[in-house]
Amino acid sequence: MGSEPRALRSRARRATRLQFLLLGSVVGAWGTHIPSLGARYALGAGTLSIVLLAVAGGTVLALLIAGRVVGRLGARRTAALAGLAMGLSLGAVLEYPGFAALLAAMVIFGASMSLFDVAINTEGPELESLGGRPIMSNLHGMFSVGGMLAAAVTFALLDLHVAPRVQLFAMGGTVALAAGIASRAMLETHARTGEDTAHFAWPQGTLLLIGLLAFAGMTAEGILYDWSVLYLKQDVGMPQAHAALGYGTFCGAMAVARFGGDELRARYPERAVLCVSAVVAAVAMAMVLVAASAWVAFVGFALVGAGLAPIAPILFNASTRVPGVSRAAAIASVTTVGYSGFLVGPPLIGGIATATSLPTALFVVVLAALFVAYGARFVPENER
């Protein structure tokens, strides 16, 4: 009897790891094909920022109901449905007849990603509780592996002159199918009854503090997802295929750091991990922007990825320890504030880049990382 629950938990862990990898692959494919999007619809930096705003807007709007959706449908069913919509949206991103249709579709794309994200992040703390050991950093590491794999595949296929629309169609179809299959092995994670009802909890107090730090960390992370390839291509002078590989070093280093993150959480205070890693990210990003060199960019982006890696797993997990709020609602609340960084960051960078230059705009990443380093001292310590 005891072996059956362990086997179910093991299957659920593997399935949830795969779901994080799929989400990372979608974000990676999207980020590495931002130049393809600009070329297909003839978008400049300012207009491109409006498209990114539509994606982020859909993400944040969906987060307002994500806790209730996951509470009612369960993490497993939400992941299956949102994964289907997310994959189909990615596959069709270069197929729309005009800019207006593209914007509407990008709102749906962002909403499906946010629902999928909350569903699988709700599953993570449940697995930690049942298994009695931390796994959140490992799960977020799989997200980074997905981004790295997507960047590597984009590099290889562009080098082989495979059309971007073919790449995205194949990736989107694969994600939609794999997410549906993997969801069948996930736990039936629903909201608990009584006070733990899943609803959107407007963040206040400790939850607001965690959300603001998530906002800064995810602003920095989101900016690099959306603008790093264009920076490497436009300002450092790399071909798009090589720029995608540079993006891959960022995701790869983030994955490696996250796979070691659970051990760090067990050995050191989370405040110290947050502070040191954020300082590393800030210094490395400043180095990349000042040097404007291909090799420095590769090394620097790797350090930025390693520095930003622990921020989201620590803060997401910390949000679930706030009393009186369900896991789904707490994660939805913190990620609503956090994903507002994706809402503000990309168009902010586009506006600053239009007025000055892209390298100047990317110094926002440095400021965001420094804010996390300062605010780490106020994060409640986890019981170790």
Per-residue pLDDT reduced to its tens digit, 276-308 = 999 999 999 999 999 878 889 889 999 999 999
In a domain, residue 371? The reply is: yes
In a domain, residue 383? The reply is: no
Reported confidence tier of residue 164, pLDDT bands at 50, 70, 90: very high
CATH code, domain carrying 65: 1.20.1250.20
In a domain, residue 138? The reply is: yes
In a domain, residue 384? The reply is: no
Checking if the pLDDT of 151 tops 90, the result is no
List Cβ neighbours of 10 (8 Å cut-off, separation of 6 or more). Answer: none
In a domain, residue 348? The reply is: yes
Per-residue pLDDT reduced to its tens digit, 65-123 = 887 888 788 889 999 999 999 999 999 999 999 899 999 999 999 999 989 988 898 88
Token pair listed for 64? 């307002």
> Considering its fold, how many domains does the chain have in total?
1
Per-residue pLDDT reduced to its tens digit, 212-247 = 999 999 889 888 877 888 888 888 888 877 887 787
Can you say how many angstroms the Cα of residue 263 is from the centroid of all Cα atoms in its chain?
21
Is 0.75 surpassed by the pTM of this model?
no
Across 83-113, b (16+ Cβ under 10 Å) vs e yields bbbbbbbbbbbbebeeeeebbebbbbbbbbb
In a domain, residue 248? The reply is: yes
Reported confidence tier of residue 190, pLDDT bands at 50, 70, 90: low
In a domain, residue 222? The reply is: yes
List Cβ neighbours of 348 (8 Å cut-off, separation of 6 or more). Answer: 49, 361, 364
In a domain, residue 46? The reply is: yes
Residues spanned by the domain of 227: 3-188+197-378
